[in-house]
């Protein structure tokens, strides 16, 4: 998988929030095999512990994808992105512009505007968006080279609420990296996303809030691998009727 010219081996991206301890976070990231981890600027600077948290992430050797979590306007998101670029020394930014407080659904109008502003300023934008094809086209026109459609509301663990929409995105954008972001709750959800042809999944709460975060991180990594292998193997189509696996023609007729 190539994202903004970088080859990425792992198709599981992992968030770094809500873990019970720094040690558990580090173990979970290692078990996941993730090469890209997301970090909120607000998490990094909270409680005066930012420096230690950043040192911990740097020691893991992963590529950092800062995000604009919690932003509700174009200006807020753009300002946060600039602060993150200065702090993490990367042009990558996961762009979130929230439009609805209950569902945390992205404000797609503000998202496109912010994406264009940041892309024009040299950022490489990873937009958290819906599965709307028109919005996807607008984001690509704005300068994005990857799309991150949600599977379900952030932190809900509901899985893929609109698999047909994601399937349509894959068909409509065959050459664009598609990363399902938000809603993954179980390994089976991750496998389903990959079987639909998604290039990767990004998740946080499903691992951080599991009884065994490290065990769940490993399970998610295996699920992503299985789903990708299944998609690559070109699975059979669903059928409305039963079809015998043993042919009837050619069987001996016993009296």
Instruction: Note whether residue 88 is domain-resident.
Output: yes
Task: Please report whether residue 253 resides in a domain.
Answer: no
Using a pLDDT cut of 90, give the percent of the chain over it: 75
- Residue 227 has a pLDDT of 96
Structure-block tokens of residue 29: 């990231």
* 249 domain residue, yes or no: no
Alpha carbon dihedral 75, 76, 77, 82, in 10-degree steps, equals 90
* 189 Cβ neighbours under 8 A, 6+ residues apart: 151, 159, 160, 183, 206
- 139-197 residue pLDDT tens: 999 999 999 999 999 989 999 999 999 999 999 999 999 999 999 999 999 999 999 99
The model scores a pTM over 0.95: no
Buried b (16+ CB within 10 A) or exposed e, 211-235: eebbebbbbbbebbbbbbeebeeee
In a domain? residue 186:
yes
Give the model confidence (pLDDT) of 211-249 as tens digits: 999 999 999 999 999 999 999 999 888 888 888 777 766
Sequence-ordered strand ranges (E) for the chain:
2-3, 6-7, 12-15, 36-40, 63-67, 92-95, 124-129, 148-149, 179-181, 200-203
Binding-site annotation, residues: 155, 182-183, 204-205
74 within some domain: yes
Provide the domain count of the chain. 1
Catalytic machinery residues:
94
Flag whether 215 is in a domain.
yes
Quick one: pLDDT at residue 246? 74
Pick out the residues of the known binding site for 1-deoxy-D-xylulose 5-phosphate. Answer: 155, 182-183, 204-205
pLDDT of residue 100: 85
Average pLDDT, rounded, for the chain: 91
- The pLDDT tens digits for 60-85 are 888 999 999 989 999 999 999 999 99
Rounded Cα–Cα distance for residues 232 and 254 (Å):
43
Give the Cα separation of 201 and 224 in Å (integer).
Answer: 8
Closest CA to 39 of 29, 4, 7, 98: 29
Write the CATH number for 219. 3.20.20.70
Q: CA-CA-CA-CA torsion for 15, 21, 23, 28, nearest 10 degrees?
A: -30
* 255 inside domain: no
User: Does 165 map to a domain?
Assistant: yes
Give the N- to C-terminal CA distance of the chain in Å, as an integer: 60
CB 64 within 8 A of CB 85: no
Task: Tell which residue, 189, 224, 188, 186, has the closest CA to residue 206.
Answer: 186
Boundaries of domain holding 225: 2-233
């Amino acid at each position: 998988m190539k994202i903004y010219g970088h080859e990425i081996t792992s198709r599981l991206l992992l968030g770094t929030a809500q873990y019970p301890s720094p040690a558990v976070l580090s173990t979970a990231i290692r078990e996941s095999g993730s090469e890209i981890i997301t970090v909120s600027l607000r998490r990094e600077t909270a409680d005066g512990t930012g420096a230690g948290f950043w040192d911990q992430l740097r020691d893991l050797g992963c590529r950092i994808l800062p995000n604009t979590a919690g932003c509700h306007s174009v200006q807020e998101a753009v300002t946060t992105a600039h602060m993150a670029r200065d702090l993490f020394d990367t042009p990558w930014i996961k762009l979130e512009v929230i439009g609805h407080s209950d569902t945390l659904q992205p404000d797609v109008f503000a998202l496109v505007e912010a994406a264009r502003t940041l892309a024009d300023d040299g950022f490489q934008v990873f937009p958290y968006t819906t599965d709307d094809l028109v919005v996807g086209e607008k984001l690509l026109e704005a300068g994005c080279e990857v799309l991150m459609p949600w599977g379900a509301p952030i932190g809900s663990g509901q899985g893929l609420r609109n698999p047909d929409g994601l399937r349509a995105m894959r068909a409509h954008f065959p050459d664009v990296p598609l990363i399902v972001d938000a809603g993954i709750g179980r390994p089976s959800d991750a496998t389903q996303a990959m079987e639909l042809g998604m290039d990767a999944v990004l998740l946080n709460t499903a691992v951080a809030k599991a009884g065994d975060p490290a065990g769940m991180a490993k399970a998610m990594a295996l699920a992503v691998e299985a789903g990708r292998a299944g998609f690559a193997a070109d699975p059979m189509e669903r059928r409305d009727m039963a079809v015998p696996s043993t042919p009837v023609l050619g069987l001996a007729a016993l009296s």
